[in-house]
Amino acid sequence: MATKKIKPLKLRHTRLRKKVSGTSERPRLAVHFSGKNITAQVIDDESGKTLASANTTEKTLADSARANVATAVKIGKAVAERAKAKNISKVVFDRGGFFYHGKVKALADAAREGGLDF
């Protein structure tokens, strides 16, 4: 049952990653949603390093954290704040094969409000 959803997701993600990659001037903001958790990372693909990240398994964000729109907003603001602390203002958004609505859109809008430009 799960493979019906995962196969198209992986295909979309692979197709997307052919076009989207992060550089040191403009790193990639990658998002991932599981059934319970949300993860967002700012990644420099040239050096292969994660520059900033936020997820729902952290103690500061884990209080009643679920994979829903409200939590996506918190994660978006947190990753934007951490990226701004490292002088990162421009990023490339990688939706990870997920459709751009609901949680993905909420996280992206919160990251924009937090000061990231994409």
Residue type present at position 56: T
Number of domains in the chain: 1
Q: Once rounded to an integer, what is the mean pLDDT over residues 94-109?
A: 95
Whether residue 87 lies inside any domain: the answer is yes
Q: What is the mean pLDDT of the chain?
A: 92
Instruction: Look at residue 35 and tell me if it is in a domain.
Output: yes
Residue 118 lies in a domain: no
Over range 104-112, report the average pLDDT. Answer: 98
* β-sheet bridge partners, residue 95: none
pLDDT digits (tens, 9 = 90+) for 39-76: 999 999 999 999 999 999 998 887 777 889 999 999 99
Is 95 domain-assigned? yes
Is the Cβ–Cβ distance between 51 and 86 less than 8 Å?
yes
113/111 Cα distance (integer angstroms): 5
Per DSSP, the residues of 50-103 read EEEEEETTSTTT-TT--SSHHHHHHHHHHHHHHHHHTT--B-EEE-TT--SSTH
**Which tokens in the block code for residue 87?**
């002088």
* Mean pLDDT computed over 65-91: 94
Residue whose structure tokens are 């907003």 = 73
Residue 10 forms part of a structural domain:
yes
Percent of the chain with pLDDT over 70: 97
Range of the structural domain that residue 25 is part of: 3-113
User: In this structure, what CATH number is given to the domain that contains residue 8?
Assistant: 3.30.420.100
Q: Using N-to-C axis directions, what is the helix angle for 103-113 and 69-85, rounded to 10°?
A: 30
